[in-house]
Amino acid sequence: MAAISLYHFLLLTLFPTLGGAGRDACKVARCSHKGPLIRFPFRLNFLQPEHCGYPGFTLTCNPNNQTVLRLPSSVNLLVKKIDYGLQTVQLQDPNSCLPKQLPNFNLSNSPFEFTGYSWSQYNLSLFNCSPPERSLGGLIPCLSVGGYRVYAITHFGSSSDLKFCVKIGGISSVPYDLLDGVDHQKRLHLNWSEPSCKVCEAQGKRCGFKNYTSPNKLGEGSYGTVFKGKLSSEVFVAVKVLNDSTGNGEEFTNKVGTMARIHHVNVVRLVGFCADGTRRALVYEFLPNDSLEKFIFSENQNSNTLGWEKLQDIALGIAKGIEYLHQGCDRRILHFDIKPHNILLDHNFNPKVADFGLAKLCSKEQSMVSMTAARGTMGYIAPEVFSRNFGNVSYKSDVYSFGMMLLEMVGGRKNTDATVQNTSQVYFPEWVYNRLCEGEELGIKAEEEEHGQIAKRLETL
39 and 174 share one domain = no
* Interacting residues of 137 by C-beta distance below 8 A, sequence separation 6+: 151, 153, 180
Structural domain boundaries, residue 168: 119-182
Residue 240 labeled ligand binder: yes
Does residue 278 fall inside a structural domain?
A: yes
Calculate the average pLDDT of the chain.
77
Percent with pLDDT over 90 in the chain:
20
Dump pLDDT digits (tens) for 144-162: 777 788 887 776 544 556 7
Q: How far is it, in rounded angstroms, from Cα 68 to Cα 78?
A: 5
227 and 202 share one domain = no
> What is the pLDDT averaged over residues 235-261?
76
For the beta carbon of residue 352, count every other beta carbon within 10 angstroms. 22
Determine which helix (DSSP H) or strand (DSSP E) holds 31, and give its type and residue range.
none
Q: Does 337 participate in catalysis according to the annotation?
A: yes
For residue 340, what is the domain's CATH number? Answer: 1.10.510.10
What is the full DSSP assignment across 97-119?
-HHHHGGG--GGGSSEEESS-TT
Does residue 454 fall inside a structural domain?
A: yes
Dump pLDDT digits (tens) for 279-288: 788 899 999 8
422 and 401 share one domain = yes
Does residue 105 fall inside a structural domain?
A: no
192 and 66 share one domain = yes
Parallel, antiparallel, or unpaired: how do β-strands 43-44 and 58-61 relate?
Answer: parallel
Does residue 82 fall inside a structural domain?
A: yes
Number of domains present in the structure of the chain: 4
40 and 177 share one domain = no
Q: What is the largest CA-CA distance in the chain?
A: 95
229 and 341 share one domain = no
Domain boundary (261, 285, 309) is at 285
Domain boundary (212, 229, 257) is at 212
Does residue 319 fall inside a structural domain?
A: yes
- Decide: 173 and 121 in contact? Cβ < 8 Å: yes
Does residue 103 fall inside a structural domain?
A: no
Confidence tier at 424 by pLDDT (50, 70, 90)? very low
Q: Annotated catalytic residue: which of 161, 177, 244, 337?
A: 337
378 and 454 share one domain = yes
415 and 315 share one domain = yes
76 and 203 share one domain = yes
Residue type, 446: A
Of 94 and 104, more confident: 94
pLDDT at 314: 94
42 and 165 share one domain = no
Paired strand residues for 150 = 128
Task: Determine which of 21-30, 85-94, 310-319 has the lowest per-residue pLDDT on average.
Answer: 21-30
169 and 44 share one domain = no
Confidence tier at 412 by pLDDT (50, 70, 90)? low
Of 192 and 244, more confident: 192
Paired strand residues for 220 = 225
86 and 204 share one domain = yes
pLDDT at 136: 67
Dump pLDDT digits (tens) for 344-400: 999 889 999 998 888 888 888 887 888 777 788 888 888 888 777 777 888 899 999
pTM for the whole thing? 0.55
For residue 224, what is the domain's CATH number? Answer: 3.30.200.20
Confidence tier at 446 by pLDDT (50, 70, 90)? low
Does residue 101 fall inside a structural domain?
A: no
